[in-house]
Each structure stands twice: as C-alpha cells, then as structure tokens.
Amino acid sequence: MKTVRYCEWEIEVDIEKTKSYYADFVVDESQANRNFREYCKIMNDDEKAFFESFGINAECCNAIQHIGVNKKKEFPCGGHYLICGRYLRCPKEEVISVDELVENDFVDERPDPRINIGLFEFDFQCEDHTFSDIPDDIPEGFICVRFWCENMRWLLNEKPEDDMVMYEFPRWWEIGRIIKESLAAKKQGMLDLEERKQEFKTAFEKLGIKHSELNGKEVRKYRQSWVDKFSPDGSNKKEIKKICSSTRTGGAFLWHIFSYEIICPEEAPNECYNSTCKDNCILISNLDEIGFTLTDADKLTSEVISEFTDVTVFDEEMTWTYCKTHESMCGPYYYKK
C-alpha cells in the first residue's frame, strides 16, 4: 500500500491491484476514445506522474464525455478512472445554497477541491460528499476520480463524426444569462423536491406514522442493498443493478426485477402486503432520492400507497418488499423471501 497526497486529499492506494484492474480493461474504439488515447501518448511529465502515482493506465478510459469540436480544433471532454484504495483525508465539503450564491453576485468563494495538472482538472469523488458522482457499478474497495480537459486538442487526422456537434463558447454577454437560467432551474428543482417530500410527510402525519427522512446517500445505499438482497443466487447482479438502480441510464426502477421476470412476485400483492407486519420499514421513491424510515406503519396500506406515484416499501432486514409503479400495466408487486 502507498499513501498519495494531492493538496488536502490523502489517499491510501493499492498500486498493484489498480494496475491489475487496468490490465484486464477492455477499451472501445469510439472516435472520442481514440482521440483521447492519442493525447495520452504525448502527455507531459506532470500528467504522467499523476497517473503513475495511482497505478492508472491513462489510455484505459471508456467514459469519454464531450461537447464537440470547436472552431479552435479543441475537443473539451472528460471521464473517470477507478483506483483501488481508500481516503485517509478529504477536504471539508462546503455546501452553498442557490440563494447564497445569488446574494453574492454569483461569485463562489469556496476553496476549490479539484486538482489541476496540465490539461487535466481532476475531481476526487467522496461518497460522503453531497454532490459526489460515482458510477453505480464501481468494484468493492475502489474509489473514483473524475476529470475534465477543457483544452483537449483534436488529434486524429479524420474529421469528427456527425454526432460530435460543433459548438462555440458563449459570448461574454451571454454568460450571465446562462448562469442565471441554470441557477434558476436548479433552485426550482430543489423546491420541487422539497414539495414532493412534504407530500409524503403529510400523508405519514395524517396516519400517525412515525417517520425519519433519509438523505440522498442513504437512499442510494438502500437501493443497492435492495438489489443485492432480492437478486437470485448466482444471478448477474451487475446487470440487474443497471436495470433496477442505475442513475446513469434513464428508466431504471427497482420493480424492473419483477417486470423483467428476474424473480416471480406473489399473487394477490395488495392482500399480501396489507397482512404483512410493518412495525419497522423503509419507503423510498423510485423517481428521485427521497426516502423515509417508518415506525408503526401498519396504517400504510396498499390503498394509501396507491396515491403515491412510484414507490418501493420493504422491511429493514429486506425479507419482503412491495412496489407500486407508475405504469398501469405493471404491478403492484409483492415478494417475500
């Protein structure tokens, strides 16, 4: 094991296991990836040293995201790498609200936790941070570092493919409007989320159900645990997670484990659920990161749940689960191990 330090980040790294991960890495041949790999061959010494310090093979990256080639023949792009290790020390996360940012004339004075080396802007993803962006299928014992290369050059002799839409940087007079529109959209999204949470709370309070709100990290962990617990022995859990709980693909719902016939639900789901003891259970929304732990929830009947859009309920030990879907042709589903 080796300890690597960059600014306030201190990471214990298993170099050999990281190298082994990349030795088995399958690289695709998309045009964006091929262009990125061309730059990896001519990286400067500082950039090479960063990747070598973790045992990363820089050319092994299939997650290239891009916004096209601009008139300067630049190819802004990004992606992520995985490292076998754990954080020993992380910068303290300072969360700022949209209102605070507006009051400060859109000037964000928080310290920047990102690491800038050459063309790369590295951003370590800590699962304890509110706004971390970690792949769903990350192997156990690995951490994620994301990167962005704003000034990456287009190095291939061939022309960019049609789907690489050409773009131009916004004019200086447009930047303020773009920022304000983006912040307004985020603020509205936060308000909408709080309104949806309140709908659940109001229903629980009306029924006299004791409830405690889960944060986003806890909801994500429950989703992953749900898939692990209810997936059949010997099944491909990686594929099931993509179908049921991936945040990187649209339309992933826990109840797909039933609609894809991975496990077979009970007949008469509403009757089975209503007769189940619900002294301590969990309710999470399938549409956003909203969840609650519930106590004495026997009054949370299938009739009450039918008023919610798309939710999954289960006990803390995950021995049973009930899913109400937003699809009229799918569900509800009940399953008991």
Q: Which is more confidently placed, 12 or 104?
A: 12
Q: How confident is the model at residue 81 (pLDDT cuts 50, 70, 90)?
A: very high
Task: Inform me whether the pLDDT recorded for 248 exceeds 60.
Answer: no
Give residue 262's pLDDT. 94
Angle at the Cα of 121 (from 115 to 127), degrees rounded to 5?
70
For 129-168, write each residue's pLDDT tens digit: 777 788 877 899 999 999 999 999 999 998 887 666 566 6
Which residue matches tokens 């009757």? 271
> What is the rounded average pLDDT of the residues 279-306?
94
The lowest-confidence range among 2-16, 117-131, 193-207, 266-280 is: 117-131
The lowest-confidence range among 126-140, 271-285, 292-306 is: 126-140
Q: Which is more confidently placed, 243 or 146?
A: 146
CA distances from 178 to 90, 169, 186 (A): 31, 12, 12
Pairing of strands 280-285, 210-213: unpaired
Give residue 104's pLDDT. 67
> What is the rounded average pLDDT of the residues 192-219?
92
Q: How confident is the model at residue 97 (pLDDT cuts 50, 70, 90)?
A: low
Task: Inform me whether the pLDDT recorded for 223 exceeds 80.
Answer: yes
Single-letter amino acid, residue 297:
A
Give residue 249's pLDDT. 52
Kindly list the domain boundaries of the chain, sorted by start residue.
2-149, 195-336
Task: Inform me whether the pLDDT recorded for 257 exceeds 90.
Answer: yes
The lowest-confidence range among 75-79, 99-103, 215-219 is: 99-103
330 within 8 A of 257, measured Cβ to Cβ? no
Give residue 134's pLDDT. 87
- Round the average pLDDT of the chain to a whole number and report it: 88
Cis peptide before 332 (omega within 30 of 0): yes
H-run or E-run covering 239: helix 237-244
> What is the rounded average pLDDT of the residues 305-313?
95
Give residue 217's pLDDT. 85
Give residue 66's pLDDT. 86
CA distances from 31 to 19, 37, 152, 160, 269 (A): 25, 10, 14, 8, 49
> What is the rounded average pLDDT of the residues 62-73?
80
Distance between CA atoms of 316 and 278, rounded to whole angstroms?
10
The pTM for the full model equals 0.56
Task: Inform me whether the pLDDT recorded for 91 exceeds 70.
Answer: yes
Give residue 160's pLDDT. 83
DSSP 3-state of 258? helix
138 within 8 A of 67, measured Cβ to Cβ? no
Q: How confident is the model at residue 105 (pLDDT cuts 50, 70, 90)?
A: low
